[in-house]
Structures are given as C-alpha cells and as structure tokens.
C-alpha cells in the first residue's frame, strides 16, 4: 500500500479497498493506510456504499438475540484435575533423547574409526616395508635362506599390496601371507563393521525421529487440551 513508483504513490485498487474495509471498520488500520483509504472513499461511491453495507450487516449480527440456554451447565461435583504433564510425554522424550545420543555417537564412530584404522595400517606398512623392500629385491638370490624367508612372514600382514609383492619375490613366502593376515584389520572385516555401524546409525536416527515426533504429538495434544 505504501509502494511508490517513480516518486508517485500507486492508486488503490478496488479489490484492495474492499479488503481494507473490515480492518478500517474495526479501527485496525495504520494511520497512513487509513488516510489513503479515506481519501479513496471520498471519491468512490461504490466503496463507500460497501462500507455502509458492512456496517449494516455487522449491526444486524450484533442485534441477534442470544440463543436460549437449554439447561444449566454448572458442575455438580469436582472432577479430578489432570496432572500437569502426561506420563507418556516424559517417557517418549527420554527415549527420544537416548536414541538421538546413540545416533550422534554412532555417527561419530562411523566417521572416526575408518580414519583410525587407516592410520594404523599406514604405520604398519611404513614400519615393515623397510626390511621388506631389500627382501623382495634380494629374494631370487636368497630364496633358500631360512633367515630371509622369515622376513616376508613379518611383512606380509602389513597390507594386501605387500603380499603379492612378497609372493612375486619369494615363491615360498606365498603361503605365509594368508596365515599372518589376521594380525591387522582386514578390509573385509572393516567394511562389515562399517556397514553394521551405518545400520545402527540409521536405526537410532529413525528411532530418535519417531520418538521425537510422538513426544511432540503428545505435548501438542496436551497443550491444546485434546
């Protein structure tokens, strides 16, 4: 209503005037809006008549007699007051909070644990690949040496890429690699744990959401007096 186009106030449309008549009638228009409306009413007989019709209709409603009371509604006894908050609300709220906390913990675990495993794996590879590199290179010449054959036993579990290298370098080291594999966190086990964490995470998140919604519903019904 206070829009100015190129420094000139826009003319009120009839539809806008008709929508403002009711709040104007109730004295709920701001001073600027009221002045513009009154200016329009001075020059528009149609809108003025509409205002008068609204006054007339409102007056008719105000003069309607009250409905006859069929009986007395006073209470004959004191009904038991309802306790401040319903029981299910607190239980649902607590359960929702626990589920939400579990969700956060699982989310953090699923985000951090793979990084920890990766660091552990890297450090193992770094530590054990030093002796392995000369072993791999020198393997063809010392394939029959018992002392040299022991080196791949230590190197093999470090990580998957190391085992093929040892196998290529030393034919007798090949069967050693699988035997030593359980020492580190294998990729397959890590993936299953991750997927388990993800499943638990989704479950906890869904539970938190559902319980939260249930608690909100109970609270809302209680607030609006059911």
Partner 1 sequence: MDEASWISASRAGDVKAFNQLVVTHQSAAYDLAYRMLKNPDAAADVTQDAFLSAFTHLHQFRGGSFKAWLFRIVLNRVYDHLRALQRHPSSSLDGMVDDEESPPLQIADSQPLPEEITLSRELMGRIEVGLATLPPDQRVTLILSDIQGMSYDEIAVATGASLGTVKSRLSRARGGLRAYLGQHRELLPPSQRLYFERTDRAAGKVSARAIDGEQTGP
CB of residue 12 to partner 1, shortest distance in Å: 14
In whole angstroms, give the CA distance from residue 49 to residue 92: 58
Tokens of 64: 């309607």
- Report the residue from 9, 22, 118, 137 that binds partner 1 according to the rule CB under 8 A: 22
Sign of the Cα pseudo-torsion (27, 32, 33, 34, in order): positive
CB of residue 17 to partner 1, shortest distance in Å: 10
In whole angstroms, give the CA distance from residue 70 to residue 185: 81
8 A C-beta contact, residue 27 and residue 55 = no
43 binds partner 1 (CB under 8 A): no
DSSP annotation of 39:
H
Which of 92, 38, 35, 76 is closest to 217 using CA atoms?
92
Which of 164, 166, 159 is closest to 122 using CA atoms?
159
2 binds partner 1 (CB under 8 A): no
Only one of the segments 60-68, 86-94, 99-107, 149-157 lies at the binding site for partner 1 (rule: CB under 8 A); that segment is 60-68
Beta carbon nearer to partner 1, 119 or 221: 221
81 binds partner 1 (CB under 8 A): yes
- Report the residue from 3, 8, 77, 147 that binds partner 1 according to the rule CB under 8 A: 77
Tokens of 110: 């699923």
28 binds partner 1 (CB under 8 A): yes
Only one of the segments 69-77, 143-151, 201-209, 210-218 lies at the binding site for partner 1 (rule: CB under 8 A); that segment is 69-77
87 binds partner 1 (CB under 8 A): no
Site residues for partner 1, 105-134, by CB under 8 A, read none
CB of residue 185 to partner 1, shortest distance in Å: 54
186 alpha-carbon distance from chain centroid: 33
Only one of the segments 56-64, 124-132, 155-163, 175-183 lies at the binding site for partner 1 (rule: CB under 8 A); that segment is 56-64
DSSP annotation of 69:
P
8 A C-beta contact, residue 3 and residue 32 = no
Query: By the criterion CB under 8 A, which residues form the site for partner 1?
Result: 14-15, 18-19, 21-23, 25-26, 28, 45-46, 49-50, 52-54, 56-75, 77-82, 84, 223-226
């Amino acid at each position: 209503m206070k829009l100015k186009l190129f420094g000139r106030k826009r003319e009120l449309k009839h539809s806008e005037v008709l929508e403002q008549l009711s709040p104007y009638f109730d004295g709920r228009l701001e001073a600027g809006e009221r002045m513009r409306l009154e200016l329009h009413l001075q020059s528009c007989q149609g809108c003025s008549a509409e205002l008068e019709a609204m006054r007339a209709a409102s007056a008719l409603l105000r003069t309607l007699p009250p409905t006859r009371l069929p009986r007395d509604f006073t209470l004959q006894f004191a009904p038991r007051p309802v306790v401040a908050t319903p029981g299910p609300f607190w239980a649902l709220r607590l359960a929702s909070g626990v589920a939400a906390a579990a969700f956060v913990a699982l989310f953090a675990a699923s985000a951090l644990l793979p990084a920890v495993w990766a660091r552990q794996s890297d450090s193992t590879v770094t530590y054990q690949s030093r002796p392995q590199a000369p072993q791999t290179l020198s393997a063809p010449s010392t394939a029959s040496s018992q002392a040299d054959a022991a080196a791949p036993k230590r190197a093999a579990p470090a990580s998957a890429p190391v085992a093929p290298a040892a196998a290529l370098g030393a034919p007798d080291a090949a069967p050693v690699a699988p035997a030593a594999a359980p020492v580190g966190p294998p990729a397959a086990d890590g993936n299953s744990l991750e997927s388990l964490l993800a499943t638990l995470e989704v479950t906890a998140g869904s539970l938190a959401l559902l319980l939260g919604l249930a608690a909100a519903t109970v609270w809302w019904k209680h607030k609006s007096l059911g």
